[in-house]
Structure 1
């Protein structure tokens, strides 16, 4: 179901706390898939009338990005998380992931992982490049922050999603 775009003024479905503003929030590591997979996915969703939050189009200049992203996540019906080898090296992506998993747990948001060139079991057990990314984070982040990121990573690895191999 496509929601009314914010600029139309037409109401979307309501919930007790917040009316959804977006159909989909798309979380991805920009340098990995922004101009390839993510761009094609967004185009396909747009063609179907599915209103998708993309940080390159919806972030207002001068606003705190983290607050605006958190708000966009909880104002979305669905979150699609494109997990790549480098996703876990981004503190920003991991914070998005925690917010997405919390939104799923707290309000039942639909979360769909896309394992893009990465094995779901490597995410679940935090092996290979994911283990290396967490080791690097441990030198700069609190134990609590690392724990939250690891728990969110494990939770999303158990969700049913898609496994996509990188072609080319």
Structure 2
């Protein structure tokens, strides 16, 4: 894993990247375990990694700083966990990441943390429950397009080659 990150960051030295890696996580699901280990392992390997350390702010729009961090990252690692889709903030991050994948040729690697990749792809299980709540809320706000955009981004991310940690000891 380290060699692909190192070669990606060194070959892009002429690009406007500020970060080698942007970590997209649902903090309450993985912050105190898997993503802390991943973050510090990347940092110890000399990989400049962005992770939003602030708790998610309810009802606020995703910050400009966070959107810029995504855009200025060479690689995004999306840790898709059971409650990832519950967070509008995470879903907005994901939309921006997938846009950067298309427009800036950003590399995107999904990690399926304690979730079945097909649940993410098809939005079943906990993802179906989260989207039912989002659809109910956004129907009232007359903004169903936002939910459709989130669904497409989630499907696109789940279709990428990634790591399914359910098959690895303790994730």
Query: How much has 1:14 moved relative to structure 2?
Result: 2.7
1:27 aligns with 2:24: yes
The RMSD of aligned alpha carbons is: 2.0
- Matched with 2:146 is 145
Deviations 1:33-74 (A, max 9, x none): 1111010001110111001001118xxxxxx85211100001
Q: 1:167 aligns with which of 151, 158, 170?
A: 170
1:14 aligns with 2:14: yes
What is the 5 A alignment of 1:107-118? 107-118=104-115
Q: Number of paired residues?
A: 152
Q: SS at the partner of 1:100? A: helix
- Matched with 1:99 is 96
Q: SS at the partner of 1:85? A: coil
- Matched with 1:75 is 72
Q: 2:82 aligns with which of 78, 85, 96?
A: 85
Checking the alignment, whether the CA contact within 8 Å between 2:79 and 2:110 is kept in structure 1 is yes
Checking the alignment, whether the CA contact within 8 Å between 2:62 and 2:92 is kept in structure 1 is no
CA distance in 2, matches of 1:159, 1:65: 24
Q: 2:123 aligns with which of 122, 126, 137?
A: 126
Q: Structure 1, unaligned stretches of length 5 or more? A: 5-11, 58-63
- Matched with 1:43 is 40
Query: How much has 1:105 moved relative to structure 2?
Result: 0.9
Q: TM-score, normalised by structure 1?
A: 0.85
Q: Structure 2, unaligned stretches of length 5 or more? A: 1-5, 55-60
Q: TM-score, normalised by structure 2?
A: 0.83
